[in-house]
Structure 1
Amino acid sequence: MLAPRLLPALLLTAALLGPASAAPLRDQRYGPDAAQIADVYLPETPAPGGAPVLVVVHGGSWKNGDKAAPEVVQNKLAYWLPQGYVIVSVNTRLMPQARPEAQAEDLGRALAWIGQHAHTWGADPDRLIVMGHSSGGHLLALLAADEPMRQRTGARSWLASVVLDGAGFDLLDVMPRPHAPFYDEAFGADPAQWAAASPAAQLRGQQPPTLFVCSTLRPDPCRRSQRYADLLKAHGGQAELVGIARNHAQINADVGADNDETRAIHAFIEAQLRR
């Protein structure tokens, strides 16, 4: 039975899907666990030559959130579906069932599954963009940094990452300082555990080009995003940062609306697709 808390989100999403979209494929299984599911939104007319795929990873402090929430998909669907994109919104297992590293592995498995099925949606698996918000941005950064994780999950390579007000890039820096209690729930008190789940500690080699979008309303998001962007560039990668005067939730919900954030993300994605 469909969880009652998801009904309003699904009804709203259904109302948004107009002539620019076909019927979505909901709760597609990419793994054996009931939480390892994704929603696939198909354009009415895919972009010529194989549609690009935008993969969306929700936030929620590694313990909350859902792929169908309006703030996760509403404006993104309205903006990218009419342009011929396929959009895949992913759920992973959450705490306490799965620690963040296992959640990142779920994302890797989802990307492997997307690569296997993209052609059936009229999409090109070589035109894959991944976008993660908050803790979802951490999962994306960790998977990108951890090559053994990508190999054991069979993760499909992707063209570029978009990290929306991400968190936890360098846990060896975050955890000894004052931080929100949910970090302790997610990462515990063992520095070895911090390192295992820290993108900065796992980073090896060049990463996909990455756009960091961060809130300028608090000091930490842009400072930590800039530090990690600099680290990516030191490893030979391409990294850009855009500061936006919106709060943490708005940074995600407003992507796809008519604003400076959407224009910056659009320009970045289109540049990667032209490479």
Structure 2
Amino acid sequence: MKPIFTALLLGWACQVLAQTASTGTAYTEISAIPYYQETDQDTANHKLNLVLPKNVTKPPLLIWIGGGAWSYVNRNMEMDVVRKMASKGFAVASVSHRLSAATWKDPALNTGIKHPEHIKDIARAIKYLHANAATYGYSDRNIFVGGYSSGGHLAALIVMDGQYLASEGLSKSMIRGVIPMAGTYDIGHYHQVLTSGNGLAFADNHIGSVFGLTPKEFELGSPTSYIDSLSTPMLLVSETNTFKYTRLFEDKLREANYKQLEVLHVHRLNHGELWKNLSYAPESIYRDLMADFIRRNTEAATAPN
């Protein structure tokens, strides 16, 4: 890996800073920051966008992972919700990761990577953001991870299967809270539901391209396999399309008597509608819920950083 500060200087030198004011806190954007620069990797997707609130001392950082079935995730598509969260006084990073094939959606999406390569990229992005907290001005003690749809799955997995952060010299205890939204958390169950609704060929094509098709591969990619290792406060949110996946995850967490769990099932919005609410609504109770969770789980600003 290139030296952290070399990557940082390259990122700063090649980006255009845009200063944007909103109805809340003004913020500054830095786009396409490279967080991992190995030449044999897909460096186009090893990038993140960072939005920093102005005039806020060491704000908490929310690392946001967009949705797209692990296959067509686009960090730039998430910038509406990212900016709106930054306007509440948080630093927010929208993170890209390498993608899986998705011929079930588009025949042109016929190449890509499989688990665990996506989650390795998330760990690399967290390492970069943690290492460069002082340079960008946010708190390295108050880092949160959230995501929508496939990003919700990855957000949960990064704090439950600790090996990926450990491989980057980090501990999952460094994450102050996690916000998985509208995701799936047991890949075997996901395969069963898709088979029932869309047929075996569709389920095998979609899930096989991302995780493989053996029971062991399902297990390794499932946050439900790591229930006993969870120690991070979690805000878990579903909508009508992902209720069954989230409820199964919730039930397993409650069976394990996990106490640091907050759950909201949004029964009035479907998958796309909740994402649009988070992204475009001038006022969103769901963004407010996220902001409240971050504030309640943030260390006091007077704590050493």
TM-score normalised according to structure 2 size: 0.75
- Structure 2 residue aligned with 1:59: 67
- The verdict on how the C-alpha distance between 1:165 and 1:177 changes in structure 2, with shifts beyond 3 A counting, is closer
Counterpart of 2:4 in structure 1 is: none
AA at the equivalent of 1:28:
I
- Note if 1:131 corresponds to 2:146: yes
Aligned counterpart for 2:46 among listed residues 9, 33, 36? 36
Aligned match of 1:269: 294
- Secondary structure at 1:192's aligned position in 2? helix
Partner residue in 2 for 1:249:
272
Is this contact kept in 2: 1:62–1:100, CA < 8 A? no
Q: Which secondary structure does the structure 2 equivalent of 1:136 belong to?
A: helix
Which structure 1 residue ranges, 5 or more long, are not aligned?
1-13
- Structure 1 CA distance, aligned partners of 2:86 and 2:192? 43
Q: 2: CA distance between counterparts of 1:213 and 1:236?
A: 16
Is the aligned partner of 1:148 residue 2:163?
yes
Which residues in structure 2 correspond to 1:74-85 (within 5 Å)? 74-78=80-84, 80-85=85-90
Per-residue deviation, 1:127? 0.8
User: Counterpart of 2:293 in 1: which secondary structure?
Assistant: helix
Give, as a single letter, the amino acid of the residue that structure 2 aligns with 1:94. L
How far residue 132 of structure 1 moved from its aligned partner, in angstroms, is 0.5
Backbone CA RMSD of aligned residues: 2.5
Unmatched 5+ stretches in structure 2:
1-17, 101-110, 301-305
- Cα deviation, 1:186-237, whole Å, max 9, x if unaligned, reads 2232111111111112444233111111113x4xx22321321333341645
* Change in CA separation of 1:129 and 1:58 when aligned onto 2, cut-off 3 Å: same
1:146 and 1:202 in contact (8 A); partners too: yes
Q: What is the CA–CA distance in structure 1 between the aligned matches of 2:114 and 2:35, rounded to whole Å?
A: 19
State which structure, 1 or 2, has the greater radius of gyration over its C-alpha atoms.
2
Contact 1:38 1:91 in 2 (8 A): yes
Q: Which moved more, 1:82-91 or 1:199-208?
A: 199-208
Q: Tell whether the 8 Å contact from 2:156 to 2:179 is kept in structure 1 after alignment.
A: no
**% same residue:** 21
Report how many aligned residue pairs link the two structures. Answer: 254
Q: Name 1:17's counterpart in structure 2.
A: 20
Instruction: Kindly provide the amino acid, as one letter, of the partner of residue 133 in structure 1.
Output: Y
Per-residue CA distance 1:44-69 (angstroms, 9 max, x = gap): 212x3x11111110110111021111
Letter in 1 for 2:66: H
Q: Which runs of 4+ in 1 moved over 4 A?
A: none
Per-residue deviation, 1:248: 0.8
The residue that corresponds to 1:115 in the other structure is: 130
